[in-house]
Amino acid sequence: MNIEEFFDQVLTVRMTPERDALDIIDQTLLPGTIRRIELRTKEEIWEAIKKLRVRGAPAIGVSAAYGLALLASGVKSDDYDGFYKEVKEYKDYLASSRPTAVNLFWALNRMERTLIDSKDKPVAEIKEILFAEADKIREEDVQISRNIGEIGFKILKDLKKEGEPVGIETHCNAGTLATAKYGTATAPMYIALEKGWKGSDMHVYCDETRPLLQGARLTAFELHQSGITTTVQCDNMASLLQSQGKVQVIFVGCDRVAKNGDAANKIGTSLLAICAKHYGIPFYVCAPSSTIDLETPTGKEIPIEMRDAEEVTEMWYKERMSPEGVDVFNPAFDVVDHDLITGIITEKGLCTAPFDEAFERLGIGK
């Protein structure tokens, strides 16, 4: 399978040809079952985002944009004020599905701005404009990931030694499944394949990523499908792995970056960064500029989603693995301190400390 055939197989989100449903891969079923599902109602779209059927900050943003366009297309009112009121209610409802991924709010806010900017046009035309805007968001996401991949690929080239694979570690899933195409943390690897590298030129170590196992289920699935040499290890094996010199670089994604460079990502990322600092391994956060929130001064202000206890105690087991009634601490994210980050790779360029100055220099947030 060539790289384009691979991308076609794992396309994360699209509209149906009739534009009557949002068509996604149900990522909760991977890797055992590759099944596409069609979402038509606000409840189905909300549930798919909340329950991680579609997940990854960029993919959530693209899905929310298409979802809002789809819901708007079904509004009956031909009066702008009535149309706007109903679409705004849909927007607010979808925004309540996940509290941390800033792309969700960014995409929905962008769709609302488009709606407001089109207020002098007929409602039927506005509906078409909203679909076109969602298409733009998707196309921009593909280009953003590709740009991140190009920058990350330069890092890989500098690390490559003749006859040896580059050892790469990643956490959770910031792959093509988490975006419209390429991914963020995996984009350097897919760009490498596009530029003629073999899958054996890289050896990617995927953290299992408890408790939802996005690394074991999703990242390992897509990298293995693409032909890249892939190994899965439990999260708590990272220190030993790194101490053995098998990892030359770490790429992770993120859901939100604060103004000072603190980065929120899937739970366990901060432990990985602490280990990397200890062993002197460069640690890069791959972040579309839309995830950089200049209104949030530091990581302390980033809200951390708390998830159901059942994800820890019983989701993956035939029998419950903890005593009934025991308390469970199950945050979805943690925050990597900016001091642990070698660089933040955005589509506009590589940012290094001090990060607030780097963001300003690249025009991020303007």
Number of other residues whose CB lies within 10 A of the CB of residue 199: 18
pLDDT at 2 over 90: no
pLDDT at 291 over 90: no
List pLDDT tens digits, range 218-253: 999 999 999 999 999 999 999 999 999 999 999 999
DSSP label at 215?
Answer: I
Rounded Cα–Cα distance for residues 30 and 147 (Å): 27
What pLDDT is stored for residue 1 in this prediction?
A: 74
The CATH superfamily label for domain 150-361 reads Translation initiation factor eif-2b; domain 2 (3.40.50.10470)
List pLDDT tens digits, range 94-142: 999 987 667 899 999 999 999 999 999 999 999 999 999 999 999 999 9
What pLDDT is stored for residue 255 in this prediction?
A: 86
Fold of 3-140: Four Helix Bundle (Hemerythrin (Met), subunit A) (1.20.120)
Residues carrying CATH 3.40.50.10470, the chain: 150-361
What's the maximum distance between 2 C-alpha atoms anywhere in the chain? 66
Q: What are phi and psi of 165, to 5 degrees?
A: -75, 150
With beta carbons less than 8 A apart as the criterion, state whether 258 and 301 touch.
yes
Rounded Cα–Cα distance for residues 67 and 15 (Å): 9
Determine which one of 141, 255, 262, 356 is catalytic.
255
10-18: average pLDDT: 94
| Buried-state track 214-251, b at ≥16 Cβ within 10 A, e below 16 | bbbbbbbbbbbbbbbbbebbebeebeebbeeeebbbbb
pLDDT at 157 over 80: yes
Instruction: State the pLDDT confidence band at 366, using cuts at 50, 70 and 90.
Output: low
Rounded Cα–Cα distance for residues 340 and 284 (Å): 9
Q: Of 21, 284, 11, whose CA–CA distance to 154 is shortest?
A: 284
Q: Of 360, 355, 359, whose CA–CA distance to 343 is shortest?
A: 355
Q: What are phi and psi of 257, to 5 degrees?
A: -120, 130
Q: What is the pTM of this model?
A: 0.88
60-82: average pLDDT: 97
Edge-first strand listing for the sheet containing 333-336: 292-293, 256-258, 263-266, 333-336
Q: What are phi and psi of 289, to 5 degrees?
A: -60, -25
SS3 266: strand
Question: Of 54-63, 157-166, 175-184, 352-361, which gets the smallest average pLDDT?
Answer: 54-63
Residues carrying CATH 1.20.120.420, the chain: 3-140
List pLDDT tens digits, range 302-344: 999 999 999 999 999 999 999 999 999 999 999 999 999 999 9
User: Quick one: CA dihedral 84, 87, 92, 95, positive or negative?
Assistant: negative
What pLDDT is stored for residue 58 in this prediction?
A: 85
Q: Is 255 a catalytic residue?
A: yes
Rounded Cα–Cα distance for residues 340 and 343 (Å): 9
Chain centroid, CA 294 distance in Å = 19
Rounded Cα–Cα distance for residues 89 and 92 (Å): 5
